[in-house]
Structure 1
């Protein structure tokens, strides 16, 4: 679907459907809603007078007017003006566009709802509408032999004033980049593991580099051996799929500091010798969601071209049982020289990230964000509402919170205390890869922190938020693409 900025008059726009909005508690109509109401013989006013429509946030109703150019009018509620947020606009865009697109609707025009309310500038409103619309319409059909016909081809966002068009175009560019990147991540995570292999992840990274002009290096098994990456190689031992260490490099600020996004790329996690229960194992294709988020974020960064230097690093492998696989009780040596006792081969994400974040430090990263579907304990603690965050730097955490708030994503800070580190000390090696059932979010995250040294660092555990079984607003069932938009927002924040 194409999204464009237009200055057409909604009542005469050559489209199949139009979207107008109403504030909660409104007793009269203004702007585009008033124009469409007059042209439709007062149908929106009748809805308000009847009490059938109250304008509550995300309340949607559609009707089919007589005598107008368009076939369908969708009315969406914005809620209370003073409580409206950019995240609310994303939701409104998704819900109203989905309602408008039902049936054989090919073109939609929408007023730029929300601009000017509660301090929301037109650029941010345009970005939110692009994000909400594209994210809300997403479906995964790559494996279907017959795909659903989708006639919707264009969404026009109508500028409140012609002079605002450049500002709206800028917002639209940002929103499209964020949404397209997130939908790429959803595609990667939704793909079955026999299609989404470490090699395919590497090929995706190479295409991103080619399309955006950034550099990409793929480290092979022999390269990892030369670097002493015993943790990553240990996890990869049981799989016939060759491991890959993907390194994308975007240099938008030559001479400036380099930051790194490091994402777990477990393309399938059987648990290894410590094998997982069969129930739900098919969903372990999503264990590369952190790595996918890094690839998607790098794609958007390459398109938006902020003045910042970012490394996107993804250790990609499978975790499989085999005669030569890693075993409980084994001791391996990570790239830093630290020795690790294996308690559970199903605590593998922290192992591959240990070598990956150490490599980010070696490449000169001054700030590191790692992203991983790391622990089931995170879901027990936070359900599907929040991702977890652990940091060694309050200033970096404050920057990250600003970026997360802009993206509408939720991250809950978890404690960082030495008592948790005591839990993964080993009697036979420097540390062990599992601290037991208690405090799993902290012990798993802080294990990774052992390999960043003094570099400012944040660990994100997206295990409960990377995949959903229910549809809501702009999130369909399946992969969510979580963290992608926050990482891009953080890069834009650093650039400014």
Structure 2
């Protein structure tokens, strides 16, 4: 299983000397950026942009002939909008470059070689360009009979070891995000708990990481009532996968938990047919946490990280859980099932209990948990809930990584919506504020003093609209970059 991703190299050559098929340059406010040492070429390209009415609107592209003095075969201009290299908002500048690089690579299918010379003046900006290029070059072609990808990519930037290291880090981050995209894009016929666990084991083996897989027998014996309950309606049984990265000398421990519903039919509380079309993406949280861990390991960051992946296929088989069933969870609490389509919180609850038992310094779960997230924040902004400190850490790292996330509360009154006459809790709570209510349910399985954050990526994980920036249609790899950035901050 592998999507089509293109790695890049790093060069300090002058943009005008780059012998690529296409040289990518930025434009903003109708002016070409980055050719200060080549006045004649810059003047010619400014004139070309003006002649075709190219203003440099963010995300727009225009390909023009290479002027005299430029070695590349042609030039692709990519708009950065109101980009200002002197802007004090470092995160905004990096994101503009990231999106510009992504938009450029999305426009260059089938091009043999590409040189990116965007105005990156700092290591963080070089990393941003590299990440954007890697994400923009992504294509998922495993199930297509034909398809084109961009060719060889060279990122051009300043000289120095810190810039080379920034490029190399960007390569790792883009690769981790693209691997998460691969997993989410894979059809559920081929990606189910057992096969998914094998993929994780293979990728972990390449990095010499420890993996533990619990199958149905172990889950039943261990009292994982949530995972077993959700998975029992499918002929393809559930798994709980634990991946450990524990470098010597690590002083801090991060624990990531990701929802891994490989297909969500809703179970007996069956979804409408239209609502099932993208439900292969209901394991995007698990893809994000495990690929973030692999990225952290590839970067050799000196922080211990554990990823927990509760995997199940939510199907309405004859053995499926029913509304009114009561599950005894791993924590010992009992949950009355009132809606089998509120399944993600059940598998997360079991995994959160085990993750919390290790007393990590920071516990984060990532899940495509509620449609209410999309209603509240739209399709591009994830909601972050949890303890105040953990929530703030996630938001800060998301800003650096260029991912849109917004802090949300967990009002105390939400929990009363899960009152049950038969068990400690029901699994389905109040409809108003459904994203917040789901977080309130999860909090019942997290220690009171834990530093914990819950990230709901229901909308941002899967783009059902047109591609934009470095974001393709379908799987996006949401949250991978933020999790890696959190580890950088903790290292």
The TM-score range, normalised by the shorter chain, is over 0.9
Asked whether the 8 Å contact 1:20–1:33 carries over to 2, the reply is no
Residue 25 of structure 1 and its aligned partner are, at CA, apart by 6.2
The match for 1:412 among 374, 385, 406 is 406
- Aligned partners of 1:297, 1:241: CA distance in 2, in Å? 26
Which runs of 4 or more aligned residues in structure 1 lie more than 4 Å from their structure 2 counterparts after TM superposition? 48-51
2:11 pairs with 1:6: yes
Matches within 5 A, 1:483-494: 483-494=479-490
Residue 448 of structure 1 and its aligned partner are, at CA, apart by 1.1
- Aligned partners of 1:9, 1:366: CA distance in 2, in Å? 46
The two structures have a TM-score, normalised by structure 2, of 0.92
- Aligned partners of 2:34, 2:251: CA distance in 1, in Å? 47
- Aligned partners of 1:254, 1:233: CA distance in 2, in Å? 37
Counterpart position of 2:40? 38
Residue 201 of structure 1 and its aligned partner are, at CA, apart by 1.6
Asked whether the 8 Å contact 1:273–1:321 carries over to 2, the reply is yes
Using a 3 Å threshold, how does the CA distance of structure 1 residues 23 and 464 change in structure 2: closer, same or farther? closer
Counterpart position of 1:479? 475
Using a 3 Å threshold, how does the CA distance of structure 1 residues 294 and 24 change in structure 2: closer, same or farther? same
Counterpart position of 1:118? none
Q: Secondary structure at the match of 1:307?
A: coil
2:437 pairs with 1:443: yes
Asked whether the 8 Å contact 1:254–1:309 carries over to 2, the reply is no
Asked whether the 8 Å contact 1:21–1:33 carries over to 2, the reply is no
Using a 3 Å threshold, how does the CA distance of structure 1 residues 285 and 236 change in structure 2: closer, same or farther? same
The match for 2:78 among 76, 83, 93 is 76
Counterpart position of 2:55? 54
Deviation string 1:49-69 (CA, Å, 9 cap, x unpaired) is: 558233444343221136653
- Aligned partners of 1:258, 1:416: CA distance in 2, in Å? 25
Unaligned runs of 5+ in 1: 116-121
2:94 pairs with 1:86: yes
Q: Secondary structure at the match of 1:209?
A: helix
Asked whether the 8 Å contact 1:22–1:33 carries over to 2, the reply is no
Using a 3 Å threshold, how does the CA distance of structure 1 residues 475 and 427 change in structure 2: closer, same or farther? same
- Aligned partners of 2:125, 2:333: CA distance in 1, in Å? 49
Using a 3 Å threshold, how does the CA distance of structure 1 residues 411 and 322 change in structure 2: closer, same or farther? same
Matches within 5 A, 1:325-474: 325-391=320-386, 393-454=387-448, 455-470=450-465, 471-474=467-470
Counterpart position of 2:182? 187
The aligned length equals: 477
Residue 186 of structure 1 and its aligned partner are, at CA, apart by 0.9
Using a 3 Å threshold, how does the CA distance of structure 1 residues 142 and 437 change in structure 2: closer, same or farther? same
After TM superposition, the structure 1 stretch with the greater mean CA deviation from structure 2, 480-489 or 106-115, is 106-115
RMSD (Å) for aligned C-alpha atoms? 2.0
Deviation string 1:458-481 (CA, Å, 9 cap, x unpaired) is: 111111111112211111110111
- Aligned partners of 1:338, 1:131: CA distance in 2, in Å? 43
Q: Secondary structure at the match of 2:170?
A: helix
Asked whether the 8 Å contact 1:56–1:80 carries over to 2, the reply is no
Q: Secondary structure at the match of 2:418?
A: coil
Counterpart position of 2:306? 311
Asked whether the 8 Å contact 2:26–2:34 carries over to 1, the reply is no
Counterpart position of 1:18? 23
- Aligned partners of 1:243, 1:225: CA distance in 2, in Å? 10
The two structures have a TM-score, normalised by structure 1, of 0.91
